[in-house]
Amino acid sequence: MLTLSLIGKESNRLDETLAGLIGSLDDTLATYTSPNENAWSLLVLPALADFPTRKLAALTDLDDRTIQRIKKRATSTPHGRNRALLTLITAQLASQQLESWGITPPLEPLEQIATYLDHRDTHNPERRCVVCGTPLSGRQRLYCSPACNKRAQRDHHGAGSPTAR
């Protein structure tokens, strides 16, 4: 995966560089990366959105609503423990999905997620309810039932306009 990093030549070590005390330009460069461009937001969250909320909640012992808020990015980055747990569970689910497609998953969790994201569009996964993860059929657009539609409306109430998916 290609990421963009900004670099800057730090002038506070200019005298040392001119005197030949610093052997490499890399020693005087500072790298600036966007906090929004990390493995969590680029890999884990997009893959996490593909898996049913209830299944994730059952595997992580987190509340359904907590999982939904994380998936919708309605909360800040989860606590480190929860973020690590969700990353590992997402990698496990992605690995299982890759195996079902006949693709050998990589060994590293983030590589498993990245490989899953690379192949998910070509294997056309079934559409699922955005609330509970139940497979959708026919003309259903976002929700499997009126109850899930109502629950989504309650979740969005007070948070401004509902987000389209």
Residues 46 and 102 in one domain: yes
Residues 138 and 96 in one domain: no
- In the three-class reduction of DSSP (H, G, I as helix; E, B as strand; rest coil), residue 4 is classed as coil
Q: Are 10 and 29 in contact (CB under 8 A)?
A: yes
Residues 49 and 94 in one domain: yes
Residues 90 and 155 in one domain: no
pLDDT at position 59 is 93
Grouped pLDDT means (10 residues each) for the chain, 165 residues: 52 64 64 66 89 91 90 80 93 94 93 91 73 72 83 70 45
Residues 2 and 14 in one domain: yes
pLDDT at position 34 is 57
pLDDT at position 25 is 59
Residues 111 and 141 in one domain: no
Residues 100 and 132 in one domain: no
pLDDT at position 24 is 64
pLDDT at position 2 is 47
Residues 114 and 164 in one domain: no
Residues 98 and 145 in one domain: no
Residues 57 and 90 in one domain: yes
Q: Which domain holds residue 22?
A: 1-33
pLDDT at position 153 is 85
Total domains in the chain come to: 3
Burial letters for 61-92: b for 16+ Cβ neighbours within 10 Å, e otherwise? ebeeebbbebbbeeeeebeeebeebbbebbbe
pLDDT at position 162 is 47
